[in-house]
Amino acid sequence: MTRITGGEVIKRVLEKEGVRYVFGVPGDQLYPLLNAIRGSSIEFITFHDEASAAHAADAYARVTGRIGVVIGTVGPGGANLVGGVYPAFAEGIPLLVITAQNQTFRSYPDHGSMQALDQYLLFKPITKWNAVVNSWGRIVELMERAVREALTGAPGPVHLDFPSDVLHATGDENEIKVHDPESYRPVLQTTASQELIEKAVKMILNSKNPVIHAGGGVLRSGAEKEVLELAEYLQIPVTTSISGRGTIPEDHPLCLIPQSFGAIAAQAEADLVILVGTKLGDLDFWGRPPIWGEEGIQKVIQIDISGGNIALNRHVDLGIVGDAKETLSAILKRIKSITGPVEKREKNQEYKTLERQWLSEYEEISTSDSIPIHPLRAIGEMRSFYPRDAISVIDGGNTTVWAHYINRIYCPRCFISSSAGDSGHIGTGVAYAIGAKIAYPEKDVYCITGDGAFGYGLMELETAKRLGLQITFMVLNDSSWGMIKSGQTLYYDKKYVGVDFLEIRYDEIARAMGCFGERVTDPKKLRDAIKRAKESGLPAVIDVKIDPEKIPPDFQTLASIWLEGCESPPRELEEMKKLQ
């Protein structure tokens, strides 16, 4: 008889699930789990902060499509995980979050233990499902259930809280059976009924001017090939949500870059919208006119893995609950059996022309030699240096908006950005880049970040160095919380509150951690600096002094989305008087 700890049982379930990496910060209560992982097929990646560990696990899940696993200890560890789990929850990323808890006999309710925290309630609103594991004998059951919940239907993070006596407890290994994933969770996805497929096909074929709008659900389903094939077969333009970027290469003739004038026109004028894996949130303008057509006039087919997302923000003419890949595949197969390919649609060129009009100004600025460096110049140099399949991590406020204009995405799961996602969480970039590089060490990974955002994950440069990860971080340094400062510039007559930092040399900090670091103040030197950064083989920081006066042209529109329903910020009367 071999007795094994609760930690060993957890490890065995993770191994069966094919987990390669566990991200986290260690803690006393976690000893049995850490000891079980040591020497196993699983590698524990330690971070300086639990939120960063969760971000890395999140990125790993985003780029691989597998579940990410993160652990933290009781109390402060659990509390620090929250910032990392929240964006995964907001953006539907499958994470297994494991926390240690104080012993069963002194928690729930606590009566004075150090680090006591009700982690069950803490994680409740930011996970799909969670539980406290109160018995060694239930570990397998609840681990399997947690993984099933994370990966089935609309994916998302799940949380298990393990009291330390359960982790330390031992039992006979013959008393438990660790199962193959096929036996505890669905491994094939659901397809819609043939009746719904037929209805969808009829609507699509009757449409004169359709558009496909693809969200993050397409990427999570792996349905990008089906989207592209349907689009090309019927010459349907494709727009994406921000989290759906990469579904179609952004230089494809049928792709209309999100929020470009081309995309907006196509969405507004389409007689049929095929929504796939997206809930039409605020960055999709809630699916409302004028960015979209009027309900009742513009038809909508919505395909989503979750019934709860159907008609969440806009009524539909046909709601289909099903996996994007399976459902689109069935639709495409049926269409091909009915009709041949469409050669062209008249409106497509017009939309591309509008997109070009929208883009051209930004592309022109991205060649600017001005000093201080224009953010678009720096971003343009970074994008053009790296190959099409590089993984692009974007982090920050204004940085994210600038990057949207010219940091094109060409392949699925090559774009990670929570600051551009449903959580709007800045400070994720360093850890996201680490998680992505761990998943695909052979791929180029670069991160463009604002200086404020970079500060959150700065110490994780040591993590990247320790792991030997060559990632280039470009810090667009304006010594401020640039986006908030922009708002105070535009709406509060430059009366700044809480937005300025000291001048910091991020390149020097990087060098102090054994990384490559270089500051660039002349745009003509950017390219060589990026090259040197990559060739160093080290995690690299390029600190770019950007022009702090530049405000993204769409700042006002974004601010209006976020502050919808609020009285317009009062531009000071003095400002108005300047016009008089």
CA 280 to chain centre: 16
Q: Any contact of residue 405 with other proteins (CB under 8 A)?
A: no
C-alpha separations of 184 from 19, 143, 187, 356 in Å: 16, 10, 9, 50
Torsion of CA 575, 576, 578, 579, to 10 degrees: 150
CA distance linking residue 219 with residue 115, whole number of Å: 39
Q: Any contact of residue 357 with other proteins (CB under 8 A)?
A: yes
Shortest separation between residue 262's beta carbon and other proteins, angstroms:
8
Tell me which DSSP letter residue 470 carries: -
Which residue from 118, 271, 350, 462 is in contact with other proteins, where contact means CB under 8 A? 350
Cis upstream peptide for 441 (omega within 30°) = no
C-alpha separations of 247 from 76, 352, 386 in Å: 38, 18, 19
Shortest separation between residue 573's beta carbon and other proteins, angstroms:
7
Q: Any contact of residue 79 with other proteins (CB under 8 A)?
A: no
Which residue from 344, 346, 568, 574 is in contact with other proteins, where contact means CB under 8 A? 568
Q: Any contact of residue 297 with other proteins (CB under 8 A)?
A: no
Shortest separation between residue 265's beta carbon and other proteins, angstroms:
4
Q: Which is nearer to other proteins, 31 or 362 (CB)?
A: 362
Stretch that binds other proteins, among 65-73, 201-209, 276-284, 552-560 (CB under 8 A): 552-560
Longest CA–CA separation in the chain, Å: 90
Give the per-residue contact string, 17-36, with other proteins (x = CB under 8 A; - = no). Answer: --------------------
Shortest separation between residue 288's beta carbon and other proteins, angstroms:
7
**Strands 3-5 and 170-172, how do they pair?**
antiparallel
For other proteins (CB under 8 A), the number of binding residues is 27
Q: Which is nearer to other proteins, 257 or 264 (CB)?
A: 264
CB 160 within 8 A of CB 97: yes
CB 437 within 8 A of CB 463: no
Stretch that binds other proteins, among 64-72, 212-220, 248-256, 259-267 (CB under 8 A): 259-267
Classify residue 150 by burial, with Cβ atoms within 10 Å: 0-12, 13-18, 19+.
Answer: buried
End-to-end CA distance of the chain: 90
Q: Any contact of residue 566 with other proteins (CB under 8 A)?
A: no
Give the residue from 277, 245, 526 showing the smallest Cα distance to 392: 245
Which residue from 282, 557, 562, 572 is in contact with other proteins, where contact means CB under 8 A? 557
Which residue from 18, 364, 571, 572 is in contact with other proteins, where contact means CB under 8 A? 571
Shortest separation between residue 269's beta carbon and other proteins, angstroms:
6
Shortest separation between residue 561's beta carbon and other proteins, angstroms:
8
CA distance linking residue 180 with residue 33, whole number of Å: 21
Q: Any contact of residue 349 with other proteins (CB under 8 A)?
A: no
Q: Any contact of residue 345 with other proteins (CB under 8 A)?
A: no
Backbone region of residue 410 per phi and psi (left: phi > 0; alpha: psi in -120 to 50; beta: other values): alpha
Which residue from 56, 100, 264, 476 is in contact with other proteins, where contact means CB under 8 A? 264
Strands (E), 306-388: 318-321
Q: Which is nearer to other proteins, 131 or 291 (CB)?
A: 291
CB atoms within 10 A of CB 333: 12
Stretch that binds other proteins, among 224-232, 258-266, 406-414, 441-449 (CB under 8 A): 258-266
Shortest separation between residue 239's beta carbon and other proteins, angstroms:
14
Give the residue from 350, 260, 283 showing the smallest Cα distance to 553: 260
Shortest separation between residue 244's beta carbon and other proteins, angstroms:
20
Shortest separation between residue 281's beta carbon and other proteins, angstroms:
15
Give the per-residue contact string, 273-292, with other proteins (x = CB under 8 A; - = no). Answer: ------------x--xxxx-
Give the residue from 99, 95, 57, 97 showing the smallest Cα distance to 77: 99
Q: Which is nearer to other proteins, 47 or 405 (CB)?
A: 405
CB 166 within 8 A of CB 135: yes
Q: Any contact of residue 331 with other proteins (CB under 8 A)?
A: no
CA distance linking residue 110 with residue 13, whole number of Å: 29
Stretch that binds other proteins, among 148-156, 242-250, 298-306, 564-572 (CB under 8 A): 564-572
Q: Any contact of residue 401 with other proteins (CB under 8 A)?
A: no
Give the residue from 170, 47, 63 showing the smallest Cα distance to 413: 63
Give the per-residue contact string, 483-512, with other proteins (x = CB under 8 A; - = no). Answer: ------------------------------
Q: Could you list the residues that contact other proteins (CB under 8 A)?
A: 261, 264-265, 268-269, 285, 288-291, 347, 350-351, 353-354, 357, 556-557, 560-561, 564, 568, 571, 573, 576, 579-580
